[in-house]
Each structure stands twice: as C-alpha cells, then as structure tokens.
Structure 1
Amino acid sequence: MKEEELLRQAVGDKQPFKVPEGYFDSLSGRITEALPACEVRLTSGTANRKRRLRLLAAAACMCGVLCVGSAYYMSRDAGAVADATNVKSQYMYNEDTYIEEVADYAMLDNQDLYSYLSGE
C-alpha cells in the first residue's frame, strides 16, 4: 500500500495516453476501407454433391463391414454355445491342474498341504 502511494506522489494520477475525439465513431468505416476488395464467386452444387456422395459411399462401406463382421462373430459364437454344456468337467479339470501347478511351484508336498489346511 505504501509503495502505491509513493508511486502516485512521484508520478501522479495523470493518464499519459488519450484517445482522439471521435476515434471510435469512424473506426469501423476506416477498417472496411482498408480491407482489400474480394469478388464473390458462386460455385455450382456439383462439388457439394460429389462430396456428399463420397461421404455416403464411405458410410455404406463401413455399414457393410460392420454387418459382415457381426455375422461372422455371431456364427462363430453359435458353436461356442454348443460346447458350453461340458463346462463343469472342464472347470474341475482346470481347477485341479491349477492347484497342482501352484503346489509344484511352492514346493509343497501332500503332508504340507494337509497341515496348512488343518491349521496345525
């Protein structure tokens, strides 16, 4: 706060910059006069039509790819549903092999497993 008061006393409150009278009144007119003249060209609708047709063709190709892919996925998945009836036997086999692999990795024999399970 003291620094601001010292600066105001040394410099004063006078604004060094002023805008000339009527500057903003004629500003828009001077800007439009300074812009280069450009000609307006009317384009035919064929360019837009070609662009739209390209986009439509790309969208149709994507839809076709999605339809073929989903049909392939659905036909492949139907065979997997038929094999789902044998899940229980596969689960038991996988569970047993997993336990055996863990026991081998941990270097546990049957006596160690029994003692851990019984809490001794």
Structure 2
Amino acid sequence: MKEEDKIRKKIGAENPFRVPDGYFDNLTSEVMSRLPEREKNAIAQREPTRWERMRPWLYMAAMFIGAALIIRVASSDRTPAADSVVADETEAQMEYINMAVENSMMDDYSLYVFLADSDAE
C-alpha cells in the first residue's frame, strides 16, 4: 500500500479547514472600511519640463538611427579599396588575353599545342 493511501486512511479525505457561512459575502466592504482615507493631492503635481517631454522621442529617434547604422554596416560590401584595384587589374589583363586569343584565329587544338610547347621549354 502506498504511503499516500495510508495517510488518507488515517486522516480521511474531507477538508479539515472551514470558513464561517457568509464570510466572503461582505469581505470586500469590510476590508475597504478598515483602510484609511486617502489624502487627496498630497504631492503637488508639477508641470513636466520640455526636456522631460521630448526625451522619449529623442531616445526613439536615436534607437532608429542606431538600428539603421547597424543594418548598413552589416550589409555593406567589405572589400577594401586595394582589393578592388587588384580585381580591376586582373580583369583588364584577362580581357586583353581573351581579345588576343580571339584575334589570333587559332582553334582550340592549335592553342592547346602552343601552350603545351611553351610550358615544355
């Protein structure tokens, strides 16, 4: 037999805690009557300054500017200027070689033989 069943046999399944009849009917009104009266206008409300009124708008604008900068930096092309110069030079050389090959009137086999002979030397 489980320990839980032993406890239930010994004590029983009924709830030992009781509340007097009608206790919760007037509970709210009794608690409210025991509270002290609230003083009205205990603290004088002052007019917020211009800075206090503009501060949330400035913070929001700064947040959007920061988010835009982060997106711009994250999505920018990270190629340094020196790499682009090297790429331009390589592209120009390849273009020159392609034009020279096309103008030489050589077919693929003749070009292969020429390159193989020049590598052998």
TM-score (norm 2): 0.39
- Give the greater-gyration-radius structure (CA): 2
Normalized against structure 1, the TM-score is what?
Answer: 0.40
User: Which has the larger helix fraction?
Assistant: 1
